[in-house]
């Protein structure tokens, strides 16, 4: 038996899966962001990235509700951060 035979080569590239969409781990321009103003007080700002805050609320639940409402209305993503280094997506409406 010979090891030198015709090689089978597939020229069909449709078998390869496209790479999965990269998930963003931080907000982009136009997204809604809720953030804590300080570590000592329950004061949260809610605004559109990259502009400043539009709303100031004093409860975490109110901040998240506002982010989700604004993100749904504007069809963008909503985020929360307590340190402007780590972000958590709390609403996803961007296509």
Count CB atoms within 10 A of the CB of residue 61. 9
72 pLDDT band, cuts 50/70/90, is very high
> Is 47 inside a domain boundary?
yes
> Is 79 inside a domain boundary?
yes
- Please give the mean pLDDT across all residues of the chain: 81
- Cis ω for the linkage preceding 50 (within 30 of 0): yes
The parent domain of residue 35 ranges over 26-91
> Is 5 inside a domain boundary?
no
Q: How many domains does the chain have?
A: 1
Count CB atoms within 10 A of the CB of residue 12. 6
Q: Tell if the pTM clears 0.85, that is, is over it.
A: no
* Residues 27 and 76: beta-carbon distance below 8 Å: no
pLDDT in the model for residue 83: 86
> Is 4 inside a domain boundary?
no
| Distance separating alpha carbons of residues 10 and 2, to the nearest angstrom | 22
pLDDT in the model for residue 54: 79
> Is 72 inside a domain boundary?
yes
> Is 3 inside a domain boundary?
no
Which residues face 32 on adjacent strands?
48, 78
> Is 16 inside a domain boundary?
no
| Distance separating alpha carbons of residues 77 and 65, to the nearest angstrom | 13
Q: Each residue of 24-47: pLDDT tens digit? A: 788 999 999 999 876 666 888 888
């Amino acid at each position: 038996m010979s090891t030198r035979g015709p090689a089978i080569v597939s020229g069909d590239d449709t078998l390869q899966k496209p790479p999965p969409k990269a998930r963003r781990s931080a907000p982009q321009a136009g997204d809604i962001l809720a953030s804590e103003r300080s570590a000592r007080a329950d004061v949260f700002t809610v605004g559109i990235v990259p502009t400043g805050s539009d709303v100031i609320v004093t409860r975490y639940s109110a901040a998240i509700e506002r982010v989700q409402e604004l993100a749904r209305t504007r069809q963008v993503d909503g985020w929360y951060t307590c340190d402007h280094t780590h972000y958590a997506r709390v609403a996803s409406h961007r296509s």
